[in-house]
Amino acid sequence: MAEKSKTDKMKEELFYTPSNAFYTCTDREIGKAMKFCEGYIDFLNACRTEREVNAFVKESAVRKGYREFDRSAKYAAGDKVYFDIHGKALILTTFGKKPVSAGTKIVAAHIDSPRLDLKPNPLYEDEELGYLKTHYYGGIKKYQWPTVPLALHGVICKRDGTCVTVRVGDDAGDPKFVITDLLPHLDREDRSIRKAVAGEDLNILIGSRPFGKEKGDKLVKLNLMKILNEKYGIKESDFLTAELEAVPAYPAVDIGFDRSLIGSYGHDDRVCAYPAVMAEFDVKKPEYTTVTVITDKEETGSDGNTGLHSAYLKQYICDLAELEGVPGRDVLRASECLSADVNAGFDPTFSSAFEKNNSAFLNKGIVVTKYTGSGGKGGTNDANAEYVSKVAAIFDKSGTVWQTGELGKVDVGGGGTVAKYVANLGVNVVDVGVPVLSMHAPFEIVSKMDVYMAYKGFKAFDESK
């Protein structure tokens, strides 16, 4: 190989060039990344909604020795607790060697994903076909959802206080559901993609067979209601007090001949939640107490009592502070947080939406997003340089491959994360996450190396001194 010229050496030393993890990592480490993602794929297939992620993580935590948080207990370094927020958000903690008053290390990821929620009164029949009405949840391109096989997940809570769990469409032998689309022969009108499918067009087809042999009114609906009554013990009015979510009914799979990518529904943001939880599980006796948060409602703006705009995190930190008899605000001031959230991966097919020098690329590691927001950084937590450099140093030291990235071009992109809600408590926060292609589509793409780098980075942060 020819020797590098002086100018090439200078460029190498002075220029910033994000590196591809496949070049910088050893084969052993690449193997570890591939292995780690097998667990991630299983997790994606087991958990399709925020409730299911909550239950799955809670069960795994209990198996790993986590106990329910008790405000009157005494905890020592290495003790592990969980705190459940209405079955939709969860906090995991490993107590550190330093007192809580020295601050905590918070990693917060969201476990809700864009989807189609059933309306409170969803069931109807039209021309002897049975349907469910939906109201979409989070930011979606509506045209992407018709002709995708769908599953239904959620709970139906009855007025006698009992709740029935619904999970149909994902298990072997289950029927699936679908939203139909107009055939191209009858769809020649030139419409923008925003108008191609309207919100009220997202009606899920769930059946076509009438009840019995005698002709009559609403017999398809009657037959469907009879099946639901037998299966779940419900009447139509029980839909009024249900929470049912339609999600794509296909499993997470390897993408590409080289199997370097994963395609799945719901990477945003289980792709940050899973590594955050695995890092939390693997931490033994950290310097600082960890607070790993998997939260709900990010996709609708973090409002509601299971979202991070509510008081639940602040209250939990105050509870931790009370264990030591110190004010909660002192703990918040001393705490640091990674807002674990995805960013857009640069897509060569749609390159005009991106500014290349400040975009995240697949396989180049986790993205440190200094600020989000839109229209002159409106609505952002713009992390301060001192804190960003501290986090960058943690990643460098641990061999975590990372890069920077903005969400698209100036005045094109925009979006929010939970960062600002944690920052508003007085905590230092920066966004860190995995780059995603086709974000918010029913089938999103991530790189296995990036997923593993999220685990590595979060673990290094949890264990930082």
**Is the CB of 321 or the CB of 344 nearer to Mn ion?**
344
CB of 418 to Mn ion, least distance (A): 9
CB of 141 to Mn ion, least distance (A): 13
The neighbouring-strand residues paired with 64 are none
CB of 444 to Mn ion, least distance (A): 10
Calpha distance 401→21 (Å, rounded) = 6
- Eight-class DSSP state of 86: T
CB of 360 to Mn ion, least distance (A): 13
Alpha-carbon dihedral sign for residues 452, 457, 462, 465: positive
**Is the CB of 52 or the CB of 463 nearer to Mn ion?**
52
**Is the CB of 302 or the CB of 428 nearer to Mn ion?**
302
CB of 287 to Mn ion, least distance (A): 28
Phi, psi (rounded to 5 degrees) for 235: -110, 170
**Is the CB of 407 or the CB of 449 nearer to Mn ion?**
407
Phi, psi (rounded to 5 degrees) for 306: -110, 10
CB of 365 to Mn ion, least distance (A): 18
**Is the CB of 331 or the CB of 342 nearer to Mn ion?**
342
Calpha distance 15→238 (Å, rounded) = 62
- Eight-class DSSP state of 345: B
CB of 433 to Mn ion, least distance (A): 7
Selection from 40, 38, 99 nearest residue 74 by Cα: 99
CB of 307 to Mn ion, least distance (A): 13
Calpha distance 289→274 (Å, rounded) = 19
Cβ pair 308, 298 in contact under 8 A: yes
Listing DSSP states for 210-277 in one string gives PSSSS--TTHHHHHHHHHHHHHH---GGGGGGEEEEEEE-S--EEESTT--EEEETTHHHHHHHHHHH
Phi, psi (rounded to 5 degrees) for 388: -60, -40
Residue with tokens 């973090």, as numbered in its chain: 302
Collapsed DSSP state (helix, strand, coil) of residue 57: helix
Cβ pair 145, 116 in contact under 8 A: yes
Q: Which residues bind Mn ion (CB under 5 A)?
A: 268-269, 341-342
**Is the CB of 131 or the CB of 455 nearer to Mn ion?**
455
Residue with tokens 């409170």, as numbered in its chain: 120
**Is the CB of 323 or the CB of 445 nearer to Mn ion?**
445
Distances (CA, A) of 313 to 280, 305, 307, 444, 461: 17, 10, 9, 29, 19
What is the biggest distance separating any 2 CA atoms in the chain, rounded to whole angstroms? 89
**Is the CB of 22 or the CB of 137 nearer to Mn ion?**
137
Selection from 118, 130, 147, 148 nearest residue 227 by Cα: 130
CB of 380 to Mn ion, least distance (A): 15
**Is the CB of 80 or the CB of 297 nearer to Mn ion?**
297
Listing DSSP states for 105-144 in one string gives EEEEEE----EEEEEEEEEEEETTEEEEEEEEESS--GGG
Outline where 283-399 has alpha helix (H): 312-323, 328-334, 385-398
CB of 419 to Mn ion, least distance (A): 11
**Is the CB of 125 or the CB of 341 nearer to Mn ion?**
341
> Minimal CB distance to Mn ion: which residue?
269
